[in-house]
């Protein structure tokens, strides 16, 4: 009987060792989403440095230029638009327009590493304006992506523009200098 007990004990031990070695709880592969949270730092250390956005900017005479510098190692395209809906801001890539709800800079090419939107080789800047009188504050989104898709940066900046010029008087009353004198020129007095 003692032989059976020893054999049984050895079998139990071997079975236990085999079970432990085959089922360790480890895994061969894993899937997980990766992400990165980047804190706010100084503009000189930012991957996308945004300048000329602090303060109130008068756009009565000309649009305000915002300068963005590509501080990544990749070529970037930057889309600029307001987060406010409806937006009072309009954007353009040159001081003369045309103004749009959103723009992509540089036009037809990419912003090279180390260059800014106001560099001559950048082919277009970032200009913003508003037709509304008085101060208008909105949040602007800067979305920068690389050609390869390896870089995608979203930055938000609140900016205040003020337009001190008066809106053109377009109320249909005329200004006395044209042909609109308020008289009924076709002499239709209702008498046939």
What is the reported pTM? 0.64
Contact 144, 153 (CB under 8 A): yes
Distance from C-alpha of 51 to C-alpha of 54, rounded to nearest angstrom: 8
Residue carrying structure tokens 């200004």: 175
User: Where do the domains of the chain lie?
Assistant: 43-163
Within 8 A by CB and 6+ apart from 81, the residues are 87, 91, 101, 102, 103, 140, 141
Phi, psi of 51, rounded to the nearest 5 degrees: -120, 165
Structure token digits, residue 23: 């089922």
Q: For 175-189, write each residue's pLDDT tens digit.
A: 444 444 444 444 444
Q: For 26-85, write each residue's pLDDT tens digit.
A: 444 445 445 555 544 556 678 888 888 777 888 999 999 999 999 999 999 999 999 999
Region 155-162: what's the mean pLDDT? 92
* pLDDT value of position 90: 95
From the list 113, 116, 123, 111, the residue with the least C-alpha distance to 69 is 116
| Length of the chain in terms of residues written | 192
One CATH from 1.10.10.10, 2.40.50.40, 2.60.40.2550, 1.10.730.10 for 43-163: 2.60.40.2550
- The alpha carbon torsion through 102, 107, 110, 113 (nearest 10 deg) reads -80
Residue carrying structure tokens 């049984």: 8
Contact 144, 150 (CB under 8 A): no
Q: For 86-143, write each residue's pLDDT tens digit.
A: 999 999 998 888 999 999 987 778 889 999 998 877 677 899 999 999 999 999 999 9
């Amino acid at each position: 009987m003692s032989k059976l007990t020893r054999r049984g004990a050895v079998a139990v031990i071997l079975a236990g060792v085999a079970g432990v070695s085959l089922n360790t709880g480890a895994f061969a592969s894993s899937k997980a989403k990766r992400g990165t949270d980047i804190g706010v730092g100084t503009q000189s250390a930012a991957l996308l440095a945004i300048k000329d956005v602090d303060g109130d900017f008068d756009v009565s005479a000309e649009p305000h230029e915002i300068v963005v510098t590509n501080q990544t190692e990749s070529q970037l395209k930057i889309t600029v638009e307001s987060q406010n809906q409806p937006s009072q801001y309009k954007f353009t890539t040159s001081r003369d327009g045309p103004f749009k709800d959103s723009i992509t800079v540089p036009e037809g090419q990419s912003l090279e590493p180390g260059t800014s939107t106001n560099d001559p080789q950048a082919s277009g800047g970032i200009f913003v304006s508003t037709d509304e009188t008085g101060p208008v504050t909105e949040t602007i989104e800067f979305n920068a992506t690389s050609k390869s898709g390896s870089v995608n940066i979203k930055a938000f900046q609140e900016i205040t523009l003020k337009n001190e010029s008066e809106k053109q008087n377009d109320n249909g009353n005329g200004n006395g200098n044209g042909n609109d004198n308020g008289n009924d020129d076709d002499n239709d007095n209702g008498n046939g």
